[in-house]
Amino acid sequence: MSTMDKYYDKNHYFTSSNWGKWGDDDEKGVLNDLTPDQVLKAISLVKKGKIYDLETERFHGMPIWDGHCGFEILSYANPMGRRNMKGSGKYDKAYSWNDDGGMLGKDKDAYHMGCNSELMIAPLHSGTHIDALCHWTTGKDDHFYNGYSCANYMSNFGPLKCDVAQIPPMVMRGVLLDIAGYKGLPHLKPNYIITPEDCKACAEWEGITLQKGDAILLRTVEKWPDSSNCPNAGLGLPAARYLVEECGAYIIGDDMSCLDGFHADGSSSVPMHPQPVHHYLLIQMGIHIMEYLQLDKLAADKEYEVCFICTPAKVRSATAMFIRPIAIV
């Protein structure tokens, strides 16, 4: 069996596992292995001081993956609204807006201070985001990473283990694998599933050697917010196994709405499995996933090796979080 053939072996698709590697109570997965030396090496890649913003914009009515609620931003407070508040209860004293718009009461606020505030209702799995290790479950016991089951570790307010609050800040070597650029295409073809051979050849084309501890950034050119140019293109399970087991990836991200690739008939890279790459990375290996990264500017400047920084907000029981990752060269 050749080096690549083993990643296509269906008998070993989900036999690899990192459960218990960092203890039975682990919730961080592979990011446990991120060392100070790796952080320093990543920082040493900065030579120009140029920052690339890898986040897409968010807006009312933005595209959302099927099954999630819509993205809404509602005005919660503004100076005009506050000015019109009359006798609304216990907050009157704190926000006693008079006809002149002052907060402290008539003739007491010489600067007529006001404020704008809002309420956001949105799925955390929208726009540029990171998946927590509790996002997907499998089996009749609905378990996620490290064997935690929903029966034992699920509350009315979300999972009690492996949430985004457990994800540490990341400073690491980032590698852009510009799959579309390597193939000489403006974007991948619809329903194209990325293979181990694609990843290996793309790295060689870029002159990059993949290393243990890398953040892999896959570019397909799914144009945000319109994904009609290459819908359902994505990573196949053999390629995910190659990037992890052969190359030592610590985290994998892409510019797509879903890391998994799908055939035209809706099937994935594994028969009878709706999300094999998510299953393998999140549940089996403890490797976080990022989606909807903005990678076009990196590709245009041929910046394939970068200092990658990502710091998700610490929200308990959240299965994903908005992120604004950056690449510095």
Last residue in a domain, options 87, 102, 121 = 121
Q: Which among 163, 230, 242 is positioned nearest to 196, based on CA atoms?
A: 242
φ and ψ of 60, to 5 deg:
-55, 130
Q: 92 with 139, same domain?
A: no
Q: 160 with 296, same domain?
A: yes
Distances (CA, A) of 86 to 77, 91, 276: 14, 10, 56
Could you read off the pLDDT of 128-137 as tens digits, one per residue? Answer: 999 999 999 9
Residues 6+ apart with CB under 8 A from 116: 75, 77, 78, 79
Q: Average per-residue pLDDT in the chain?
A: 89
User: Which DSSP symbol is given to 282?
Assistant: I
Q: 189 with 100, same domain?
A: no
Q: 52 with 153, same domain?
A: yes
Taking residue 4's Cβ as centre, other Cβ atoms within 10 Å add up to 15
Residue spans of beta strands (DSSP E) within 65-203: 72-77, 117-121, 129-131, 154-155, 158-159, 170-178, 193-194
Distance CA(327)–CA(172), nearest Å, equals 10
pLDDT band at 82 (very low <50, low <70, confident <90, very high): low
Distance CA(177)–CA(293), nearest Å, equals 13
Distance CA(45)–CA(233), nearest Å, equals 31
Residue 66 placed within a domain: no
pLDDT band at 81 (very low <50, low <70, confident <90, very high): low
When pLDDT is averaged across residues 144-155 and rounded to a whole number, the result is 96
When pLDDT is averaged across residues 227-241 and rounded to a whole number, the result is 85
At 311, the amino acid letter reads T
Q: In the Cβ-directed half-sphere of 119, how many Cα atoms lie within 13 Å?
A: 5
Q: In the Cβ-directed half-sphere of 284, how many Cα atoms lie within 13 Å?
A: 18
Above 90 in pLDDT, residue 253? yes
Residue 63 placed within a domain: no
Task: Work out the angle at residue 137's Cα, subtended by the Cα atoms of residues 132 and 143, and round it to the nearest 5 degrees.
Answer: 105
* Ramachandran area for residue 168 (φ above 0: left; ψ -120 to 50: alpha; else beta): beta
Could you read off the pLDDT of 15-74 as tens digits, one per residue? Answer: 999 999 999 999 999 999 999 999 999 999 999 999 999 999 988 888 887 778 888 888
192-219 residues labelled b (16+ CB within 10 A) or e (exposed): bbbbbebbbebbeebeeebeebbbbbbb
Q: 185 with 271, same domain?
A: yes
Full residue range of the structural domain in which residue 42 is found: 5-58+124-328
Q: 108 with 242, same domain?
A: no
Q: 117 with 138, same domain?
A: no
Residue recorded with tokens 């509790």: 134
Q: What percent of the chain has pLDDT over 90?
A: 66
Torsion (CA) 138, 139, 145, 151 in degrees, nearest 10? 110
When pLDDT is averaged across residues 219-232 and rounded to a whole number, the result is 76
Q: 229 with 197, same domain?
A: yes
Residue 53 placed within a domain: yes
How far apart, in Å, do the first and last CA atoms of the chain sit? 39
When pLDDT is averaged across residues 225-238 and rounded to a whole number, the result is 80
Q: 29 with 172, same domain?
A: yes
Burial zone of 61 (CB within 10 Å; 0-12 exposed, 13-18 middle, 19+ buried) = exposed
Residue 64 placed within a domain: no
Distance CA(225)–CA(156), nearest Å, equals 33
> Considering its fold, how many domains does the chain have in total?
2
Q: 294 with 266, same domain?
A: yes
